[in-house]
Amino acid sequence: MSLIKFITSKTFLKQILLAVVAIVVICFVLLKWLNVSTNHGQFQTVPDLKGKSISVAQVALQDNKLVMKIQDSANYNPDYPKFSVIEQEPLAGTKVKEDRKIYITLNPSGYRKMIIPEGLIDKTFRQVKPTLEALDFKIGKITYVDNIGKDIVLKLSHKGKKIKAGDKLAKTAIIDLELGNGQRP
């Protein structure tokens, strides 16, 4: 039997037709299964969680069939209550699939503690001020006492208590300075 006769035979054409029908049926079944298993066209709207507590955010996400994942806390933001949501990903109003993870960032309970650096005592005010401000401390009350060194830092204090190198204070803490006035004691 020649090749041309075999290709034009009824048996070969039936096999080709059966193969095409099988491929079409398999594709149709596969597409229907994908639509059902992936909830095609069904979306949940991400609620706005900013400023809400963890428990309120959890309930809001469960009502929308979404999953909450807490990321590390960010820097303290005084505009939001403690332990409330300050960021979320994806953003509010975004359409997502059911059981999607929503990542939230919480506001910590307060500012991070910073260590008072070494070598601030017996330095000039001009040297100490930028060092403290770089650590986000605020310069409070400046008092002068009799000391031969003019504008030399003699003492650091916070809320009336003397502080020394290695002590920890919250960011934005107000540090009072005692400086020399250039007069002999």
One-letter amino acid of 175:
I
> Which of 62, 88, 106 is at the close of a domain?
106
Same domain, 176 and 151: yes
User: What are the pLDDT digits (tens) for 158-169?
Assistant: 999 999 989 999
Same domain, 56 and 89: yes
pLDDT score recorded for residue 1: 62
Please indicate, yes or no, if residue 60 is contained in any of the structural domains.
Answer: yes
Domain interval for residue 164: 113-180
34-65 confidence digits (pLDDT tens): 888 877 778 888 999 998 988 899 999 999 88
Question: Could you tell me if residue 53 is inside a domain?
Answer: yes
Indicate if 32 and 51 belong to the same structural domain.
Answer: no
Has residue 185 been placed in a domain? Answer: no
Do the domain assignments include residue 33? yes
Q: Note whether residue 158 is domain-resident.
A: yes
Give the start-end residues of each E strand in 43-184.
Answer: 44-45, 67-70, 85-89, 95-96, 101-106, 113-115, 138-145, 153-158, 161-163, 168-170, 174-180
Domain match, 132 and 163 both:
yes
- Below-50 pLDDT ranges, the chain: none
pTM of the model: 0.59
Domain count of the chain? Answer: 3
Residue 12, CB half-sphere, CA atoms under 13 Å: how many? 7
CA 64 to chain centre: 22
Q: Is residue 19 part of a domain?
A: yes
CATH classification of the domain holding 167? 3.30.10.20
